[in-house]
Chain A
Amino acid sequence: MTFFVVVFGLFVVSTISELILKVHEASDKLIKDSNNAISMTAGCAVFLQVLNRLSQVDIMVPFFLSFFLSFLSFFLFFLLSTPFFFFFGKDLDKCRRLLIESGEGLVQKASQCREIISNLSSSFIRDNMVILVHSHSRVVMGALHLAAKQNVRFSVYITESRPDCSGLKTAQELQELGIPCKVILDASIGYIMEKVDLVLVGAEGVVENGGLINKIGSYQLALIAKAAGKPLYALAESYKFVRFYPLNQYDFSSSFQRFTDFESTSSDIDWPQYLEKNSPSVDYTPPEYINFLFTDLGIFTPAAVSDELIKFYLD
């Protein structure tokens, strides 16, 4: 996001529509190139919406004013070859400044978001709780960190979450914080679920119906949690809300889903020779498996996500 705003400052444009076009181009490229497509999509969409709104409300008023003025100036300084551009440029500067400010605001907000979410969710973590966490998520880490700082004593199970084994990273950080934790295999979620009081997951994106798009394995975790009757809370910043409505697991556009290579752990079979080893990197968790969403806007039921998105994008 920061990168995006910086790049944005470097654009050389002469009209607002050209500016919008350029931003669109840039965001498309970013989404294509990033390895976290869904959250990038969400972030870019937020930025574009801000741009749209600015160009409609804040820019248009001075724009017409300057149009009028430029007519005047045309008569006064008709020696100037481009009186229109002169004023346009001035306006665009203002627009660009506004946009950069709002972009930076968004970036700053991102870190504040996590604090708000931690505050909201820490009260749900109580003494002697056993928490199951999937993969690695900064928001979840923040929440656990805050709870630990408030002297709540709880223990954590972490899934290994192959193929990238990001669960190990979580385990390492938790150990540094002094929180008792254990790493389990992804295959043993069902076995461990009986002991667990609470399941916490982060999200790469929150889709329009309140479902999650997250690291592969979240869906089966949610299914098992639902079957075992354990609450599952998703922690996500509101800029991860994305106007996208998957109907099932295969309804991702190809840019969202990525297939990754993974290594075998057993050495005695020479399997890469004849087996395809592509694994999807994200999956979609339908909203009915999610109890609550903790966001910087408050604690939501999944249905409320759509309401927020409608408010944001349809205004």
Chain B
Amino acid sequence: MEDKTVTEKLQDLDLNPEGKTKAELKAERARLHKLRLEKQGIIDHKQSGENLDPKKDLSKKPALSKQERRAIQEAQREAKAKAKGSDVSKRGGTSTSTNLNTHDDKNKNDRIGLGIGKDLSSLGKLKGGISHGSILSHGTPEIGGGSGALNGTSKFPNYPSFGPNLRENEMLLESAVINSKKIRMFEHLEVPNDRVFSGHVIDKWRPSSLMAIGYDEEETDVNSNNNKISVPGVGGSVSGSTAPSTISKRKKDFFQIHPAIKSLGLRMASSMLEGSNERTKAMLEAFSLIIYDYKTPPQNSMARHLQTYLNPQIKFLVQQRPLSVGMGNAIRWLKEKISLVDIDQDEASTKKELITNIRNYVNERISAAVESIAVNGSAKINDGDVVLTYSHSSAVFRLLTHAFSVNKTKFSVIVIDSRVGFSGQKMVRKLVASGMARNPDVLDSLSMYDNSRKCSSSNEFMGCGVSYALITSLGYVMKQANKVILGAEAMLGNGAILSRSGTAMVALAARNYHVPLLVACETYKFTERVQLDSVVNNELGNPESLVILPNERNSNWMKYSQMDRNLNSKDDSSCLLISNTLNSLSYSPLSSDRFSAWPNLNNRRTLPDPTKPSSNQIGVFGGNNTGNLAGSTPGSGGPPSNWSLETLTPNLQILSKDRAVNNMTAVAASLSVSSKINNNSIYNKSSVLDPVDKELANAKWEIFENENPLVNWRELTNLKILDITRDITPSEFVSVVVTEVGLIPTTSISVLLREYKI
């Protein structure tokens, strides 16, 4: 009870003193900012234009009547209290709640709930009359007050209906929810350890930046508020003492964030932009845009002020997704460059100098580095080699294509892939597009009779080919490989590789079979940091993505909700789309059929049959969930073949049976059934177009639950699910590191760092 009064005070402090005028000003500013964003072409016009109107309604209407505003707050508080009560009663002694409740600072304690409550309530507000709140599926008991806040909005009767804008708004919201799930990399250094492994961390889910960009100016409050208090162990006391002033300051900071950075942050958070090199390039590009647009405030020198201007931008990026080591190095380099700028130098020339420097950095340290890695590394690939690689890496891809197209080496590639990202499929697609999977006959006629090169191994006829296997079949596939080439996110000071999780497994298997392991890594990714295992420091993924099987994941709950609408409007176009997807998912379950795509793997002595039409040589091993790959074959069409946001984003959560049944239409369930049985005859359109039957949906939910027994994992207090995205490969597994300065052993990384300050 006391908590509430404190909150009230805080609220009053924050909102009341200057009243409406201030709020209106803020709203105005938010809208201006959004317009500016549009100008930058970040949000496309249709979408943002339509969103602008509801936003106006949103930001102005609450500001008009104070009572209504009060009502909302009241509702939030209630909800929060309810949720807290249920939370504590439900999972009495679990880590999260104890952490929260035993903390001295009641103030802060309260604001955690408040922040999230508000956060979600705003979502709810936006959501409004759209549909059944399917998006808000993370309104669990754990996440305080989410559902309560939803109820709160029902006290707000004059809510405008969105009408035709429904779809766009929902899309935005969806991505907002996705963004909110991104987790900071070093978070578990800041919070007590047990919180990391429990999926129940409340404040782990970041508030979306999309929300912050422009719906409701209150969001920015919540946003900054939430960020600050997300570190209860460390930052608590600070935030508790100087609450209102810092909030307003942070809000100010937020509006200074450059649109280029915002768009970059969103792209990174939504996994549209992946890969250390790509991210670093994009980040530096954004920075040069910032510097270009930068105007030195009066009585400030650029050299001094630019640094402080950049810091919030970087912070924003970190919030969206933790920076990779390469990005950190690039930022450090840029800051050093800025600090070296002469104070008296005029703005134009400083800008020019810095932008040129950035461009040079991108060219020399990233682009040219990748090229010379390709040259250095491809010399190690000989005719007849079978190169195994894991997941996607731009450097490895360049290396392989260089060996293939410039050196004209005849070798084959096995791409190993794993959940959750399945980025190996991207690699396969790129390799196939580059012609690696061409018919070996064509290749033979190109270079087989070239006497200058002799095949090192006996299987001279081994043509080029790309095969794809999941990491579960590593033990079998590794026997056939004679080189393993991996990419790295960073090389640590002790020679260990920091890379996508699964790399260590591949390295271990390579070691076991005595296959030399090459690691392609640009020197800008070298770091002096040392890390003994991958638990001390890691980037956490969304645990939800481990829970639901890839079949469901690929067909994506977002689509279900879309389909729901389509069903109601009797529009079956998207149903057709899904049926295409399903068709493309189905492939022969007989392993022999799949292996025959590549005779060499089936039987090393078998020569490729020239009469066989083997234009697209992709062997698919042992995976029963390779939906996206199947989509890659030309002509199959369907949504998974393009790497859109939907296919890459983690699906939304399903947290309770009731809600799921509401959300999940008969279509969704029948999808899962049919994909499980892998028989398309079960799936027909008539079942799709059946009206949603509650009974049926319940039954199908059970099937779904059977397939995904962990769907309710959040309700099981002692079940923890951890999705770590990086791992550490010890240096002794690595035969050689391919860098732009040559091939070096892992022991020399520290020397390069020390001697050359790379």
Contact = CB atoms under 8 A, between A and B. Distances in A.
A209 B380 contact: no
A208 B739 CA distance: 14
B751 A208 contact: no
A210 B745 contact: yes
A314 interface: yes
Contacts of B752: 310
A307 interface: yes
A209 B742 contact: no
Given A243-B742, A247-B736, A311-B755, A306 B456 contact: no
Nearest to B736: A245
B483 A306 contact: no
A306 B735 contact: no
B708 to A, nearest CB: 44
A159 to B, nearest CB: 26
B743 A245 contact: yes
Interface string A182-216: 00000000000000000000000000111000000
Interface in A290-315: 303, 306-307, 310-311, 313-314
B747 interface: yes
Given A307-B751, A310-B755, A247 B380 contact: yes
B467 to A, nearest CB: 22
Interface string A229-247: 0000000000000010101
A278 interface: no
B264 interface: no
B141 to A, nearest CB: 55
Contact of A247 (B454, B518, B741): B518
Contacts of B449: none
B745 A248 contact: no
A250 interface: yes
B751 A310 contact: yes
Contacts of B742: 208, 243, 245, 313
B483 A247 contact: yes
B516 interface: yes
A81 interface: no
B360 interface: no
A173 interface: no
B380 A314 contact: no
A254 interface: yes
Contacts of A307: 747-748, 751
A33 interface: no
B744 interface: yes
A243 B736 CA distance: 13
Interface string A86-97: 000000000000
Contacts of B747: 303, 306-307
A209 B755 CA distance: 18
A292 to B, nearest CB: 15
Nearest to B751: A307
Given A209-B736, A314-B756, A248 B748 contact: no
A251 interface: yes
Contacts of B483: 247
Contacts of A310: 741, 744, 748, 751-752, 755
B516 A303 contact: no
A96 B298 CA distance: 60
21 contacts: A208-B742, A208-B743, A208-B745, A245-B743, A245-B744, A247-B380, A247-B735, A247-B736, A248-B516, A254-B454, A287-B745, A306-B745, A307-B747, A307-B748, A307-B751, A310-B741, A310-B744, A310-B751, A310-B755, A313-B742, A314-B741
Given A245-B744, A303-B748, A310-B741, 19 more contacts: A209-B735, A243-B742, A245-B743, A247-B380, A247-B483, A247-B516, A247-B518, A248-B516, A251-B380, A287-B745, A303-B745, A306-B745, A306-B747, A307-B748, A310-B744, A311-B751, A314-B741, A314-B755, A314-B756
